[in-house]
């Protein structure tokens, strides 16, 4: 027995055919223009550590990936948090892909909002646009066929959304507590499931999905000192379509969701790229998207997003995105953003974001962040 244990590390090392270690460390500074409505500070400094390790074996048919995440925040204890973004085993079996563990899955094609992206929970303290996600425990089997890809997901554990704490910014007037309630008696142990079909039809990339399980978007139960998140059950049917016609991208995401309240939503539009604008090497993308939501108090019930994307096509990969989201029913309600980034060298990169929020409506979802305009700069080191 002792001799067998002694050779086990040598056997495992020999079975590994490829391995790699990489990741990033970010130093980020947010500077808010105004004091918070609840007296919060203007300055917020963060350190992010996100390494990634992988190994491949079985002639590349098997892969194990581990990606932890840690943020340390100077202002908000709730924004100081750790997560396993990915702890995933992938096995390729002919034209099937089996994934078991914790992972991230992204669905969607539009720029301004990702309606159909439903597998992972939003890491709400990470970004304003909701693009950062928590790792989701899952079993995923995908069949890759000539007639399209079919994916099935079993999701055995639910992740609660993160929220800013009482000292944090971009939060509701009453902070959100950790005492979440559920419609399902199984609570976080409720087993969710989803099916998705995707394929290319000429110039069109089409996806259709169905999800049944715990609603990733919580409702809120009011209290005297805090809000309690309530996670209902839901069924969601959705489609996402993208067409590529030369310099044109045509996009659509649409869904119908049956939960505590039933609603439909859609976002559709285009992106047109002008190559070599102004007789330079630059590419200019023009973006326009219309957003609809059947709920009157939704942030995107009748909105228009207009944006421009500059790609300088230089050695540093410099890009700038400018966008504004305008409520078509209320001229005084809008949000805007600027995102810019570029490499400094092979290991270093800078990034800058600007967000601003404008509304005069008391019942608007933007009203509680109307003083949270901020500038964020980051220095990122990749290894």
Q: Does the pLDDT at position 69 exceed 80?
A: yes
C-alpha torsion angle, residues 223, 293, 340, 243 (rounded to 10): 150
Give the mean pLDDT of 8-26. 74
Has residue 1 been placed in a domain?
no
User: Which two three-digit tokens encode residue 4?
Assistant: 């067998």
**Cα 274 vs. chain centroid, distance in angstroms?**
28
Q: Alpha-carbon distance 266 to 222, whole Å?
A: 29
* Residue 292 CB partners (closer than 8 Å, separation 6+): 265, 266, 267, 300, 301, 302
CATH number for the domain spanning 162: value is 2.40.160.10
User: Which two three-digit tokens encode residue 288?
Assistant: 């326009």
Number of domains in the chain: 1
Token match 């890009």: residue?
319
Has residue 10 been placed in a domain?
no
Has residue 4 been placed in a domain?
no
The per-residue pLDDT for range 86-136, each reduced to its tens digit, is: 999 999 999 999 999 999 999 999 999 999 999 999 999 999 999 999 999
The per-residue pLDDT for range 162-218, each reduced to its tens digit, is: 999 999 999 999 999 999 999 999 999 999 999 999 999 999 999 999 999 999 999
Helix H or strand E encompassing 337 = strand 334-343
Round to the nearest angstrom and report the end-to-end CA distance of the chain.
40
Q: Alpha-carbon distance 304 to 327, whole Å?
A: 7
Q: Alpha-carbon distance 80 to 70, whole Å?
A: 8
Has residue 186 been placed in a domain?
yes
Has residue 345 been placed in a domain?
yes
* Residue 109 CB partners (closer than 8 Å, separation 6+): 205, 240, 241, 242, 251, 252, 253
* DSSP, res 39: S
Q: Alpha-carbon distance 338 to 321, whole Å?
A: 6
Q: How sure is the predictor about 277, in pLDDT bands with cuts at 50, 70 and 90?
A: very high
Has residue 6 been placed in a domain?
no
Has residue 296 been placed in a domain?
yes
Has residue 221 been placed in a domain?
yes
- Domain of 350 in residue numbering reads as 18-382
């Amino acid at each position: 027995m002792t001799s067998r244990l002694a050779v086990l590390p040598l056997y495992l090392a020999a079975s590994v055919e490829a391995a790699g270690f990489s990741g990033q460390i970010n130093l980020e500074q947010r500077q808010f223009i105004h004091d918070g409505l609840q007296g919060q500070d203007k300055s917020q400094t963060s350190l992010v550590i996100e390494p990634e390790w992988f190994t491949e074996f079985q002639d590349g048919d098997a892969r194990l990936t581990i990606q932890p995440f840690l943020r340390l925040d100077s202002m908000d204890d709730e924004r100081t948090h750790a997560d396993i973004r990915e702890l995933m085993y992938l096995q390729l079996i002919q034209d099937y892909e089996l994934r078991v563990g914790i992972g991230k899955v992204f669905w969607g094609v539009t720029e301004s909002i990702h309606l159909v992206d439903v597998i992972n929970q939003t890491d709400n303290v990470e970004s304003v646009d909701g693009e950062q996600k928590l790792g989701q425990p899952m079993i995923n089997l995908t069949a890759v066929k000539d007639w399209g890809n079919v994916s099935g997901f079993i999701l055995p554990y639910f992740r609660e959304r993160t929220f800013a704490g009482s000292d944090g910014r971009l939060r509701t007037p009453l902070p959100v507590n950790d005492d979440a309630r559920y419609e399902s008696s199984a609570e976080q142990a409720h087993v969710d499931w989803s099916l998705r079909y995707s394929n290319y039809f000429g110039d069109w990339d089409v996806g259709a999905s169905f999800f049944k399980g715990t609603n990733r978007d919580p409702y809120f139960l009011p209290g005297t000192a805090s809000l309690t998140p309530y996670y209902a059950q839901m069924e969601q049917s959705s489609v996402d379509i993208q067409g590529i016609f030369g310099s044109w991208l045509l996009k659509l995401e649409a869904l119908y969701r049956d939960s505590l309240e039933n609603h439909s939503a859609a976002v559709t539009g285009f992106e047109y790229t002008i190559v070599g604008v102004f007789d330079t090497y630059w590419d200019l993308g023009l973006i326009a998207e219309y957003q609809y939501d059947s709920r009157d108090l939704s942030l995107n019930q009748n909105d228009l997003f207009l944006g421009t994307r500059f790609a300088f096509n230089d050695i540093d990969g410099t890009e700038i995105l400018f966008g504004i989201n305008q409520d078509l029913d209320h001229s005084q309600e809008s949000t805007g953003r600027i995102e810019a980034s570029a490499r400094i060298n092979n290991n270093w990169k800078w990034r800058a974001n600007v967000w601003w929020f404008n509304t005069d409506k008391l019942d608007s979802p933007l009203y509680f962040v109307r003083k949270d305009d901020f500038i964020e700069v980051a220095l990122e080191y990749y290894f």
